[in-house]
Amino acid sequence: MQKVWGATFGLLSAVVFILVLFSDFFPFGGYASQRFMLAGILALTVSFLLTVLVYRYGLGVFRAIWPACLVASGFGLLAFPFTGVLYSWSEPGMYAAFFLSFVLLGSLPMSDEQKQNGVIALVSVAAVALLFYGGTTIAIYLFALSDDVASLSNYIPWGFASIRYWSHLATWLLPLLPLAVLMGPLRDQKLWRIFVGLGAGLWWWIVFLSSSRGTMLGLAFGVLVAVILIGRPTLSWLKVFLRYLVYGVLIWLCLSILIPSLLLDEVSLRALKTDTSGRVPLFIEAWRMSLENFPFGMGPQSWLTHDILTEEYQRSPKFGHPHNMYLMWAAEYGWLLIGALLLLAGQAMRLFWQRRAEVRVGDHNELALPLAAFTASVSAALLHAGVSAVFMAPGSMLIGFLVLSVFWALITPESAPVKPQHPRRRLAAAGVVALVMGTLCVYWFSEVWEYHQAMESDQQFYQQNVPAGTLPRFWFHGNFPRHPDQMP
């Protein structure tokens, strides 16, 4: 069991980064390939880990993960009254498996040394992947300049259907990159430190180039939380983080200002907006939805199918979600689910506070740096989710699954549960868990596949008869099913 956190986690991280950053080279299109990958990873993680943990430690394992179980069952139970809606289990099944899977993976009994190995595996893979992506971005940058393209933000970042989906990854990953030169066997290698710094600087450059406000605000908030809560042990991490930020500013000045001004007649920069980009009417609509069937919500994907409640949203541009994950969950699954999520957040805060105390008194100095970095990453992503689909876009959810799993492992106390007696009972219980979870996962994945086929069949009618544009949600053609007035 403990070996799962070592080489297997590193291999899983590599596969995820390849698919997320270079998804255009995979079948079904990048968005759909990532969604299928996410569904497969979540289904296997939940069914396998629950079965093995119950077999090894009995039903007592549920005492440590009951808030996550409550969230997972909440998605299912609150979606149950709406089973007549088309493909009503696709999204609640995904969310239930997502929250349960990272808690399960992060709760595996392991030593602090094994947790460090997981951290090193993830941040090393991330550093290499981000460097390759940045290097390819430079090639695209040179081609754009050779074609006299003034507006670089039309081509960079590349490989994503929307700038927002790339910015989600930057929010998750930029706080982690300093760990690549502070931990691991390569931390003293000068060439490795140069490569990591270059990759980080290029990603910061893209943040500035694309004016990713959610990422900027999220990172500022996450860093502030980590520094205030953890204190002095964060200083070496903070120093490297700020150094990479300076690298990004210098690269931006060079690649976005100096070179284009020398080679092109004009320099076109993406403006940093100070308005809400039309999000307020969406927030108000989601809030009104959450009160319609209080506290149970209006059902999965009801944002797409409900009768519009407010005049402001009636007149505003439409999207596949309200650009606020918390209001979307409240609108569709009700405030009961938000209460369950708060219980899970409360458990995380309690575990974090215990680990923080250990780090500050020097009992676990080796975990101070990763705790600071992952706290900043998760805090940044949670804030970013209040203004964007951080927990909807499949690429962001894949990276978030890895980051949240490591974060949960870092805040979980080092322990080795005592194997209980009655092996036959444990075997029987594990068999029941395997049967139930296997059946649920197979049913859910089959609906995900059928949903994809139906979505593809609907595309031609949608493009010809529904002038609403592309509204990505579960699938890239995310406005299906939609309001009955727009259905064939």
261 is a domain residue: yes
128 is a domain residue: yes
Res 146: pLDDT: 85
3-state secondary structure 366-397: HHHHHHHHHHHHHHHHHHHCCCCCCCCCHHHH
Res 1: pLDDT: 47
Res 13: pLDDT: 94
Burial of 316: CB neighbours in 10 Å, binned 0-12, 13-18, 19+ = middle
Per-residue pLDDT tens digits for 47-67: 999 998 898 888 888 888 999
Distance (Å) of CA 355 to CA 180, 363, 364: 22, 9, 8
Res 27: pLDDT: 64
Q: What is the pTM of this model?
A: 0.95
Provide the sign of the torsion angle of the four alpha carbons 234, 240, 243, 247, taken in this order.
negative
Burial of 27: CB neighbours in 10 Å, binned 0-12, 13-18, 19+ = exposed
Res 112: pLDDT: 83
In this structure, the dihedral spanned by the alpha carbons of residues 100, 105, 109 and 115, taken in order and rounded to 10 degrees, is -140
9 is a domain residue: yes
- Report the chain (488 residues): mean pLDDT per 10 consecutive residues: 64 93 75 93 95 86 92 96 90 97 91 88 96 94 84 85 92 98 91 97 95 94 96 93 97 92 73 72 96 94 95 91 96 97 97 90 79 97 96 97 96 72 85 94 95 94 89 94 88
466 is a domain residue: no
What b/e readout covers 398-417, taking b as 16+ CB neighbours within 10 angstroms? bbbbbbbbbbbbbbbebeee
Say how many domains are in the chain: 1
37 is a domain residue: yes
Res 16: pLDDT: 95
Give the structural domain span for 355: 2-275+322-411
Res 486: pLDDT: 87
316 is a domain residue: no
Token pair, residue 46, equals 């939940």
Provide the sign of the torsion angle of the four alpha carbons 59, 65, 69, 72, taken in this order.
negative
Q: What separation, in Å, do the N-terminal and C-terminal C-alpha atoms of the chain show?
A: 50
Whether residue 157 is preceded by a cis peptide bond, meaning omega within 30 degrees of 0, is yes
What is the residue whose two structure tokens read 């689910």? Answer: 337
Res 59: pLDDT: 82
**What is d(CA 471, CA 164) in angstroms, rounded to the nearest whole number?**
13
Res 276: pLDDT: 67
160 is a domain residue: yes
Helix residue ranges per DSSP H, 388-470: 394-411, 423-465
